[in-house]
Chains A and B, each alone.
Chain A
Amino acid sequence: MAGEIRQDVCSLRGMDYSIKIGGEAGQGIQTVGDTLSRVFARSGYHVFTHQDYESRVRGGHNFYQVRVSDRPVSASRSRIDILVAFDKESVDLHSVELADPGQIMYDSATLGQQHDGPQFLDIPFTALAVEHGGSRIMANTVATGAILGMLGMEMDIFLHIIRETFHKKGEEIIRQNAAAALAGFDVAIKQCVTCSFSATGRTEPKMLVAGVDAVGLGAVASGCKFYAAYPMTPSTGVMNYLAGKEQEYGIVVEQAEDEISAINMAIGASFAGVRSMTASSGGGFALMVEGLSLAGITETPIVIGLAQRPGPATGLPTRTEQGELQFLISAGHGEFPRVIFAPGDPEQAVRLTHKAFDLAEKYQIPAFVVFDQYLGDSQWTYRQLDLNNLVNTDYRLRADALRDVTGYKRYAYTEGGVSPLAVPGDSRHLVVADSDEHDEEGHIIEEAETRNRMVSKRLYQKIPLIRREIGPPLRYGDEVPDMVLIGWGSTYGLMKEAVDLLSGKMAVAMLHFSELWPFPGTETFDYMTLLRNAGKTICIEQNATGQFARLMKAETGFEVSAGIYKFDGRPFTLEELLGEIHAALG
């Protein structure tokens, strides 16, 4: 078993290094990780990062893992090539993950202990920071320089980043940081006599994009004008991103008093005539559920981001899980249509956030973009993201279009069930919406016949049209596979690499579902035949009950032959997933 995994992983060729930076919250491990990732991306390498942190601002144990390679990477590895230990716990917990050869870089003065062995490299981060930079604050800069030195990389990009970061603070600060960086770099080269790392040649710079930023980027590119939310990890990054774009792109970002208010504000803004969004994690979304139902009956377009984390209740607040799928599909009292998208990487997050805005407005429904802490905090590299194919269509009736309308009714019966969505105040027509069942004008009714027609309009007429918009799952790997790995959302990159590693040994493919609801049909891609013809179908999910496998069974009748479910709040590493697949194969 173990031998097989080893063989799988060893088949990775070329440059492929994993660097783990561990320490307490507040020690700056995120700064080091972000800076390194940026240097690697600008050097043209492929990067994948993921973060593991506790729900505290200071102390505890956190780590940031960066994988850098000369070929596309989309998952983290268990095996670490360089461990940067900012605390004692990093050595205790992560030494076992070290590859052979691998290096543990630490500052014996900070840790208060000395380690022997060729894998240990004692670099006085703090002393060098004081000596060359003039302040112990620059210990992280020293460490970053040292890592680049160990990898045999050049310093120009890092020095450029220092200049960009501190340009407002003046030349002296830039000079001090550059000196600290170079000191770390030089010491690492001098002392790391056993280092066998070597970086391949640079290529064209790449973009480095995190999942949360991709959702925010997708929203801005879709013409989102209003965003209301209450901060909640791991969804807050979307609000941070959009708040940074408020001025330049004319977006109002409002921090609401609670999530109930957030969704109702977004509904109000949408009713007024702008594209609106809110986002939260499970607990906050639970508070929004009544508002979701309000969007349903009032047919008000709204996009809701859901960044999943382990529950129930507060659960593991800073960790990852795919535990909200079944909740999301049935959330909200009463029956109304919705679409649910679960992107697998930042590129899909941009595209599907845009599609969510489009469908929300086209069909006047709530649309979800579901991700999790893992995807939200992970960074991927791309040569480029193509935003030109994101076309925004305005489905609302505004002043000009309303001038020729007579007898406007907000909920007029139409062939496809989609009624004209007018902007209130743009004409003399009155726009009336109600959370009660209502007539075509929007006024409260009690009669059975109107109720039947309205339910039919919202559900029976719209759903077939919405269903046609939903794309099929993505197949990757063998066209006629013996084994199919099935997953949704953030496991995309992991499954993809697993398929790459296993494909030499068996006919394997993955089916990745990113457009989840309404459940995709088989008109454009008969994935059901592919599943039925495979000997082994394994559903991989980050939850305890196989929520997607159950959904697929309910919608298609197909039962997977095995499930790999992880619910400890940590993402799979590639080796872990391969081990589980081998175990499932027996």
Chain B
Amino acid sequence: MPLLDEYTGQVPAWCPGCGNFSILKTFKAALVDLGIEPHQLMVVSGIGQAAKFPHYIKCNTFNGLHGRALPVATGLRLANHHLIVAAVTGDGDCYGEGGNHLVHAMRRNVNVKLFVHNNQVYGLTKGQASPTTGEGTVTKNQPFGVFSEQLNPMALAIALDCSFVARGFSGDQDHLKSLIQEAFNHKGFSLVDILQPCISFNKVNTFEWYRERVYHMEADYDPHDRVRAFERALEWGDKIPIGIFYRNSRLIYEERFPMLRESALIRQDLDPGKVSGLLKEFY
């Protein structure tokens, strides 16, 4: 059983009071409860405030390019499906720059756990609109307000039959911890969208704004009903549900490759005796 202090990483470079701190604390606590040891875990990230996350916990890390965490995570899982692979990104990173990869990662259903720190604004580049910024929100770069419709990650994921779809809130740590654990325990691509205030750049969606609106899904809510889940995903405004919206037990991508059934790809060395056999078909 790992201890919490085994996960103490670098000193975070986030703004004091950022919602990321409570997500980090909750994430570590969830890992301890799950009994996942640092060397068993690979956290992939892109670029943005959330993407610095893996440096602040102790684990195997690939901190790659903006928007590209999921392709790297996919390659990692196909090469070694015994690794526990998580991707930690922000709303700009994953829903903007990496949108195409998200769509196809959900289609493939690679067993990757995706945690999106969704603060509805670009933090690292200082306050531009993100795909989840509300329509009409005025920023320095959108002086007439945001023209585009706000992206709905829950509805998008359910439409694509994503294997596990949940939303949490950084200010509700016990609930968030249970979602993180459920995601790690689920077999299949898992999206956990985490609502999180940005104290520096988002003056609309503040801690209070979220706290007044979020509520837990009912105890008897059935996350296996896709149509009902889609209806719940459309709820946004005065009331915002958090919890597990949808889950299914689709076959994971790694299990579809016949050659991965026996062992992970990294354990399959080329048999030198089979090399000369490559020439036969050319005669």
Contacts and interface: CB of A to CB of B under 8 A. Distances in A.
A339 B275 CA distance: 25
A569 interface: no
Nearest to A442: B61
B140 interface: no
Contact of A264 (B68, B104, B260, B278): B68
Interface residues of B, number: 54
Contact of A257 (B40, B79, B101, B282): B101
Interface in B43-72: 44, 47, 52, 54-55, 58-65, 68, 70-72
Contacts of A206: 283
B60 A252 contact: no
Nearest to A392: B270
A382 B62 CA distance: 44
B104 A271 contact: no
B74 interface: yes
Given A265-B75, A268-B44, A213 B65 contact: no
Contact of B60 (A228, A432, A443): A432
Contacts of A433: 61-64
A428 B40 CA distance: 8
Contacts of B38: 430
Nearest to B259: A250
Given A207-B279, A265-B75, A424 B65 contact: no
A247 B40 CA distance: 28
A3 to B, nearest CB: 41
Interface stretch (A8-16, A51-59, A175-183, A215-223): A215-223
Given A249-B270, A444-B55, A427 B39 contact: yes
Interface stretch (A78-86, A272-280, A522-530): A272-280
A124 B172 CA distance: 81
B32 interface: no
Contacts of A256: 71, 104
A338 to B, nearest CB: 18
A261 B110 CA distance: 14
Given A252-B260, A291-B68, A435 B63 contact: yes
Contacts of A390: 275
A248 B277 CA distance: 10
A290 B46 CA distance: 13
Contacts of A228: 75
Interface residues of A, number: 68
A267 B75 contact: yes
A436 interface: yes
A42 B265 contact: no
A228 B108 CA distance: 14
Centre residue among B70, B268, B278 by max chain A CB count within 10 A: B278
Contacts of B65: 264, 290-291, 294, 435
Nearest to A216: B278
Contacts of A294: 64-65, 68
A500 interface: no
Interface in B266-283: 266, 268-270, 272, 274-276, 278-279, 282-283
Determine which residue in A208, A276, A430 has the highest number of CB atoms from chain B within 10 A of its CB, and name it.
A430
Contacts of A269: 75-76, 78-79, 265
Nearest to A223: B270
Contacts of A262: 71
A264 B75 contact: yes
A248 B270 CA distance: 10
Interface string A268-307: 1111111010000000000000110010001000000000
B82 interface: yes
Interface in A353-394: 384-385, 387-388, 390, 392
B62 A261 contact: no
A5 B265 CA distance: 56
B103 interface: yes
A476 to B, nearest CB: 25
Interface in B172-211: none
A131 interface: no
Interface string A317-358: 000000000000000000000000000000000000000000
Chain A CB within 10 Å, residue with most, of B55, B79, B258: B79
B10 A425 contact: no
Contacts of B276: 387-388
A205 interface: yes
B8 interface: no
A302 to B, nearest CB: 10
B139 interface: no
Contact of A272 (B10, B59, B80, B279): B80
A438 to B, nearest CB: 9
B277 to A, nearest CB: 8
A444 B70 CA distance: 21
B76 A272 contact: yes
Contacts of A271: 62, 72, 75-76
Contact of A434 (B60, B63, B83, B282): B63
Contacts of A257: 100-101, 103-104
B225 to A, nearest CB: 29
Nearest to B271: A249
A89 interface: no
A39 to B, nearest CB: 12
Contacts of B268: 225, 250
A246 interface: yes
A508 interface: no
Nearest to B42: A424
B146 to A, nearest CB: 26
Contacts of A245: 278
Given A261-B104, A424-B60, A430-B61, A252 B39 contact: no
A254 interface: yes
B257 interface: yes
A266 B78 CA distance: 10
Contact of A208 (B40, B64, B80, B282): B282
Interface in A433-472: 433-436, 442-444
A150 to B, nearest CB: 25
Given A250-B265, A252-B79, A265-B78, 16 more contacts: A207-B279, A220-B270, A228-B75, A248-B274, A250-B270, A251-B259, A264-B72, A265-B75, A271-B75, A272-B83, A273-B79, A392-B270, A425-B83, A429-B39, A430-B38, A433-B61
Interface of B: 10, 13, 37-40, 42, 44, 47, 52, 54-55, 58-65, 68, 70-76, 78-80, 82-83, 100-101, 103-104, 257-260, 265-266, 268-270, 272, 274-276, 278-279, 282-283
17 contacts: A220-B275, A225-B266, A245-B278, A250-B268, A252-B78, A254-B74, A261-B104, A272-B76, A291-B68, A387-B275, A423-B80, A423-B266, A425-B60, A430-B59, A432-B63, A433-B61, A433-B63
Interface of A: 41-42, 205-209, 213, 217, 220-221, 223, 225-226, 228, 245-252, 254, 256-258, 260-262, 264-274, 276, 290-291, 294, 298, 384-385, 387-388, 390, 392, 423-425, 427-436, 442-444
